A and B are shown apart, each in its own frame.
Chain A
Amino acid sequence: MENEFLPRRVRIEETKMMTSLEKWFKLDAQLDFKPGQFLEISVAGAGEAPISICSWNGVEICVRKVGRVSSALHQREKGDFIGIRGPYGNGFPMKEIEGEKLILVAGGLGMAPLRSVLQYVLKNRKKYGEVTFFYGIKCLEMMLFRDELLKLMEEENVNLHIAYEIEDEEIRNLKKRFPERFHKGMVTTLFEKVKVNTESFVVVCGPPIMYKFVLKKMEELGFYKERIYMTLERRMKCGTGKCRHCVVGIGSSSKLICRDGPVFSAIDAELIRELV
């Protein structure tokens, strides 16, 4: 019988430090997955942690060094092996939103799962309408996939805008290079600076605190709740709905993020208490 807890051993094909805290890994793995799904990543001896897939072309993860497993992962280099299980979770409804306009809203490390959406959309560009990408960062140093994103700014495919909190010389230079693309403030300020179509589908990922602000902003602007999707984070230990660490909500409306999520709509947020 298939043992869901048994990790598959995969080789690390490539690594790169993205920022002083985040490291990117390309894994030598064949996986059938959807943007927004996550993997349980193992480093034998350090343990296991849920990490979302940050790619669509191949299997890549972007890991922030915060705990035991992530620190151990950071020690791993090209050619080393790690364990993976999954993919788990529902993922974003990419098929259902075909033909629609999209706005992707990422905050900090929330960039990782949204990069998977972005790559998917770019791969299937014709299937989607206008694509806007809002990315909120603290400072340029914390910007993930910087080269890729700056390259994207030069193209017409995606309307990419960055909100930053701390301005420095480099940002000032980038502002000159890409006028109207860098804005000071939180990610929500981009909704004021950039004209958006409120009939768009919106895909959000960021730290827990960000959802409240983003949802509030979108409600003010008149977006449709059923068109807003977000991906949530919890401490999923099993990924299969057993360990119950990721329970949200109360009573019969409660959900397990690993099984019923991690992607939920703003309608779910209304029905499931404390989802965001």
Chain B
Amino acid sequence: MKFLKLKKDQIEDFFDSIHSFGIVYAPVKSDGKISFRRAQNFSDVSLEYTRSQIPPKHVILPMEEPILKFREEEYFEVVDDENKVLLGVHHCDIIAFKMLDEVYLQPPKDIYYHERIKRTLIIGLSCIPDNYCFCKATNSFYTSDGFDIFLHDCGDFYFVRVATPRGLKVTENSKNLFEKVDEKDMELFVKAEKERFERVKGKNLWMIGDLIELRDENFWKIFSERCLNCGNCTLVCPTCQCFEVYDELEEDLKSGNRFRRWDSCMLRAHGLVADGHNFRERTEERLRNRLSCKLGEMRCVGCGRCTVYCPTGIDILEIVRALKE
């Protein structure tokens, strides 16, 4: 790791410089909501934010993308070779990428994910936690890898961590913007991180996987009673990996595209098989499967999105509390 310092009045120049690496995606605020979008000008970017509704996952794993083109029965791959910069990613969302890596880069590799992630420069950013965050419990409060550069907000400067050769090259290309760190900068960095640490609620997820398995149907019924099977909790989740695959035809009826699209285990088709049998017919079964996937298999980064964006207020921490009671 290399440590540097970037004064806040230099951040705009730094922003301008990273465009030479690739298309920049950053947190952009519109109608009071944060989304990771293409950002041309620094004035569009909001670096002070708590969470985006849709995680930055979509930059690497688009919500909907053509994966193949076909003509008759011949298939051709469609691969995105754009270089990208993903700026302003919080610890939890970086750790979520690491979890997705484990799935998508496990042999056989998913080339669509792989091609994108390897061409994407990830610039992390320290966060502003709120009461919905529980990243301490999921061990995703702080990350030491999964990024090229990390910016820690320390008041009037960013304490910068550089983790990869690629990241180093980017900082060296704009050498004049960065300064060396001294003892005082280090102290301020530690202080800022401590303050951030204090802001996150502590939670213990000890034996939660077994408790999810042990609780019976009636337990899950209580929490799924308010569930509308809308799927929002999974669509805003940074670690959800499920996708659906389908074909669309073009005008000539012979060629077309094979698409994949984010899917949700809270929807009916997820557990359906050809003869009409559904392995997760009831909402309580789907809720338990979701909790099992997230907390049982520990693929949760404690970002709080599933609770914040649930239209009916189903609170993952409330379920955790009840599981342990």
Chain A residues near B (Cβ < 8 Å): 1-7, 9, 42-49, 64, 66-67, 70, 80-83, 207-208, 233-235, 237-238, 240-245, 247-254, 273-274
Contact = CB atoms under 8 A, between A and B. Distances in A.
B221 interface: no
Given A234-B273, A245-B242, A251 B297 contact: yes
Given A3-B111, A250-B288, 10 more contacts: A2-B111, A5-B77, A5-B110, A9-B73, A44-B73, A45-B254, A48-B245, A70-B274, A241-B103, A243-B260
A49 to B, nearest CB: 7
Contacts, number: 142
B293 A247 contact: yes
A248 B302 CA distance: 24
Given A243-B242, A245-B270, A251-B296, A6 B289 contact: no
Contact of A64 (B67, B254, B274, B293): B274
A251 B212 contact: yes
- The 6 lowest CB-CB distance pairs between A and B, nearest first, are A251-B296, A251-B209, A81-B73, A44-B70, A250-B213, A4-B108
B194 interface: no
Contacts of B3: none
Contacts of B114: 1
B296 A250 contact: yes
A251 B210 contact: yes
A240 B103 CA distance: 10
Nearest to B275: A66
Contact of B293 (A5, A241, A254): A254
A44 B292 contact: no
Contacts of A241: 103, 106
Chain B contact residues, majority secondary structure: mixed
B195 interface: no
A82 B210 CA distance: 45
Interface centre among A7, A9, A233, A247 (most CB of B within 10 A): A247
B21 interface: no
> Could you tell me the dominant secondary structure of chain A's interface residues?
loop
B42 interface: no
14 contacts: A4-B108, A44-B73, A44-B75, A45-B248, A47-B247, A47-B258, A64-B274, A64-B275, A67-B274, A81-B73, A83-B75, A242-B110, A242-B241, A245-B270
B175 interface: no
Given A1-B111, A4-B108, A247-B289, A47 B245 contact: yes
Interface in B224-250: 241-249
Given A48-B245, A251-B297, A235 B273 contact: yes
A198 B147 CA distance: 57
A235 B280 CA distance: 12
B297 A252 contact: yes
A248 B289 CA distance: 9
B43 to A, nearest CB: 38
A142 to B, nearest CB: 13
B31 interface: no
Interface in B280-305: 288-289, 292-293, 295-297
B109 A1 contact: yes
B212 A9 contact: no
Contacts of B77: 3, 5-6
Nearest to A8: B75
Interface string B80-114: 00000000000000000000000110101111101
A240 B40 CA distance: 37
B110 A233 contact: no
B16 to A, nearest CB: 34
Most buried by A among B253, B258, B260, B288: B258
Contacts of A242: 103-104, 110, 241, 243
Contacts of B213: 250-251, 253, 273
B249 A45 contact: yes
Contacts of A234: 273, 279
